[in-house]
Amino acid sequence: MKGKVIGIFSWIVLLLGFIQLGSAQNLDIDLLRKINGGRSANLVPFFQGCSNSVTPMVIGVPVVMSATGFLKHDTVLLGKGLFVGTTCIAAGVIAIGVKYAINRPRPFTTYKDIVRLSEAGGPSFPSGHTSAAFSLATGFWLDYPHWYVGVPVFTWASLVGYSRMDLGVHYPSDVLGGIVVGVGSAWVNKKLTDWMQRKNDRAKKILYSPHL
């Protein structure tokens, strides 16, 4: 099971990488030009704020959850915080690895009409900000699977993804790749966590079985 979910996730990421290197490139840059060239100057500070919110959110949310759970001796909350934290870490590691494996140039370096309005480091595919935002949103929603949790967290994550195109630092396929990495990291982590929990529960039943 472990190998299966990781294998499926890896093939999806690789497929997206091949797509963004192929004939879809023209559609990619055409859509980016519409978004970047048609942006509203009044909304630039808002989208910059969306992008800048990722780091404090990805660090702050799991730290606060885990610290609160630890201080209150709430093992459930502690476990939820650790789950969100490990999901974000996994997404970050995967995103960086794929970035340098594919090594796609940023759109503003290839197309001079794309105006960059945000800091951007490293290769383009996938979007690290988007993968981080969606890993946090998905991980948090899996901890608290309610619509009133999912709507705001996924709205925020979607705004982060859109902001990376509006600010001229990522192609649409970069953002799509970031979504796959973020959501996929949370999904795989959830499957592995549930599998480990079931394995641990079976071990406890055997250990404390009255027939032994």
Higher pLDDT, 200 or 95: 95
Q: What is the pLDDT of residues 85-138, one digit of tens each?
A: 999 999 999 999 999 998 999 999 989 999 999 888 889 999 999 999 999 999
Place of tokens 């993968």: 131
Tokens describing residue 177: 């790749």
Q: What is the pLDDT of residues 137-192, one digit of tens each?
A: 999 999 999 999 999 999 999 999 999 999 999 999 999 999 999 999 999 999 98
Mean pLDDT of 7-17: 55
Angle at 162 between CA 28 and CA 50, to 5 degrees: 150
Per-residue model confidence (pLDDT) at position 12: 56
Predicted model pTM: 0.84
Tell me the fold of 2-20+28-192.
Vanadium-containing Chloroperoxidase; domain 1 (1.20.144)
Q: Where are the domains of the chain?
A: 2-20+28-192
